[in-house]
Amino acid sequence: MIDPYRAISSPVHRLDARVKFPLSLAFILTCSLVPHGSWVVFPLLLSISLSAAISSHLGVGYVLKRSMWTLPFVLATFPLIFTFDGTSIGSIQFLYWDLTISFDGLERFVSIVFKSWLSVQVAIILVSTTPFPQILHALRWLRVPKLLVAVIGLMWRYIFVMAGEANRLLRAREARSGKVAGYPNGGKVAWRARVAGGMAGNLFLRSLERSDRVYAAMLSRGYDGEVRLLVEPPLGGDQLFQLFSGIGLFSLIIILGFLLGGAS
């Protein structure tokens, strides 16, 4: 399923998106601003993330398992261990190169991995507990430009349009493909690559045509680029208290990180 939203009754699900979204951004910003090597602050951030996962009834395993998919991307910072200046703690021989392991580079690499991992956890909790239209509404509440919100909303919706078109193409290919002895997938690799290329081009053209029809239908129903909900009640005092107290907590965590002397 492409849409990660899970309809569960929990305190995090019931929290207004105009509170959840800014708090999620504040958490991610806190992870970015906390100095590298803030080993006292990182457990605090992890405890907040895990507490949100438990309160959302998604389960810690659900959040941790999906956040692991981001770890291969942060491996792009792995060369920092050998290229960042700092105290040498050892060296390894790789082919013709003698690579020196820097303590400062290792600390920076582990910090980046941990920060990215925590940020993705909170993003997973946000999208798994908040319907996408409410996220768009929260963006507009934060005064994000209407055009940018419209682009984000249409991009999200067209993902499902393209997925539907791709499924129809796959079903059509299966209905028209025979099984050849020795080639259970329908033919040689070159033949499958040629068919896949044709399907990709066909999908692109069909997506363009479908998007034009969808947009014309939206205009005929009064769409003007604005995200609207049927009910838009103002935030109550309790919700505002939750929002500003959360932002204040993250501000204190940032200050604590700098006071405890993490690397810059």
- What does the pLDDT average to over 1-10? 77
Residue 263 forms beta bridges with which residues? 36
165 domain residue, yes or no:
yes
Would the CA dihedral through 79, 84, 89, 94 be positive or negative? Answer: positive
Query: Which residue range forms the structural domain that includes residue 156?
Result: 146-220
Cα 35 vs. chain centroid, distance in angstroms?
22
Pair 18, 117 in one domain:
yes
For residues 120 and 208, give the distance between their C-alpha atoms in angstroms, rounded to a whole number: 32
Q: 202-210: which pairs have CB atoms within 8 A and are 24 or more residues apart?
A: 202/169, 203/162, 203/165, 203/166, 203/169, 206/165, 206/169, 207/158, 207/161, 207/162, 207/165, 210/161, 210/165
- Confidence (pLDDT) at 185: 57
239 domain residue, yes or no:
yes
Higher pLDDT, 19 or 171: 19
Pair 104, 178 in one domain:
no
Q: What's the pTM?
A: 0.79
Pair 72, 166 in one domain:
no
Q: Which of 12, 22, 30, 47 shows the shortest CA–CA distance to 244?
A: 22
Report residue 168's pLDDT band, with 50, 70 and 90 as the boundaries. Answer: confident
200 domain residue, yes or no:
yes
Pair 62, 99 in one domain:
yes
Pair 52, 94 in one domain:
yes
Pair 115, 238 in one domain:
yes
- Confidence (pLDDT) at 55: 93
For residues 119 and 45, give the distance between their C-alpha atoms in angstroms, rounded to a whole number: 10
Q: How many residues does the chain have?
A: 264
* 51-80 confidence digits (pLDDT tens): 999 999 998 999 988 888 888 888 788 888
The Cβ of residue 253 has, within 10 Å, a number of other Cβ atoms equal to: 21
Pair 18, 67 in one domain:
yes
Mean pLDDT of the chain: 83
Report residue 183's pLDDT band, with 50, 70 and 90 as the boundaries. Answer: low
* 197-252 confidence digits (pLDDT tens): 888 888 888 778 877 888 888 888 887 767 666 666 788 888 899 999 999 999 99
184 pLDDT above the threshold of 60? no
Considering only 8-17, 39-48, 142-151, 176-185, which range has the smallest mean pLDDT? 176-185
- What does the pLDDT average to over 102-115? 87
Pair 194, 86 in one domain:
no
Pair 115, 214 in one domain:
no
53 domain residue, yes or no:
yes
- Confidence (pLDDT) at 243: 92
Amino acid at 116: S
Please give the tally of structural domains in the chain.
2
Pair 66, 33 in one domain:
yes
Residue 183 forms beta bridges with which residues? 180
Q: Is there a contact between 56 and 128 (Cβ–Cβ < 8 Å)?
A: yes
Q: Is there a contact between 1 and 127 (Cβ–Cβ < 8 Å)?
A: no
